[in-house]
Amino acid sequence: MKQRFIELLRETKRPGMDNLIDYLAQTDFFTAPASSKYHGAKDGGLLEHSLEVDKNLETVCDSFGLKIETASRHITALLHDVCKINFYKKVIKSQKDGYLPNGKINWIDVEGYEIEDQFPLGHGEKSVIILQRYIWLFDEEIMAIRWHMGGFDELAKGYVGGLQLAAAMQKYPLITALHAADMIANNINHV
């Protein structure tokens, strides 16, 4: 999977991509979970999720006849969650495991993850900032990555943020397509 991910990014021929790939290799990107308890809450979950979103984004664009450059599709889908680099740490959690004969809950220790954000700056905007340290992003790519959470984005829940999201979605169809691809990966064919 890691090799496929790198090949897809290199195919974009975006200047600085090799530097970005080197940076990702120095972080936990390829081994990190995608979430602490939902989709991809396992070692390597972020990599799997990113590849799934890439596949879904191609399907969404093809299904709706969206003319999005292949490089932009790969960059936004594969890199939308770089904000999750150095974001989770492994912990031992207690989990309910049925009941004991005396009726009390039987608790067991299991490995899990919790958030320990090393660079607390939000979600989409954090990904954009990290990426722009290495590669140039076009406006539509910036907007798609920034707003890929759609209405789940904290800013979008407020009146002004909701207006900004709506305006951005009207102008840049890639936002809606990336959000749909991400939601499909999270909720339908999640890893």
Condensed to tens digits (0 to 9), the pLDDT of residues 147-185 reads 887 777 777 777 877 888 888 889 999 999 999 999 999
Domain boundaries, the chain: 2-84+124-187
Condensed to tens digits (0 to 9), the pLDDT of residues 19-78 reads 999 999 999 999 998 887 777 778 889 999 999 999 999 999 999 999 999 999 999 999
SS3 per residue for the chain? CHHHHHHHHHHCCCCCHHHHHHHHHHCCCCCCCCCCCCCCCCCCHHHHHHHHHHHHHHHHHHHCCCCCCHHHHHHHHHHCCHHHCCCEEEEEEEEEEEECCCCCEEEEEEEEEEECCCCCCCCHHHHHHHHHCCCCCCHHHHHHHHCCCHHHCCHHHCHHHHHHHHHHHHHCHHHHHHHHHHHHHHHCCCC
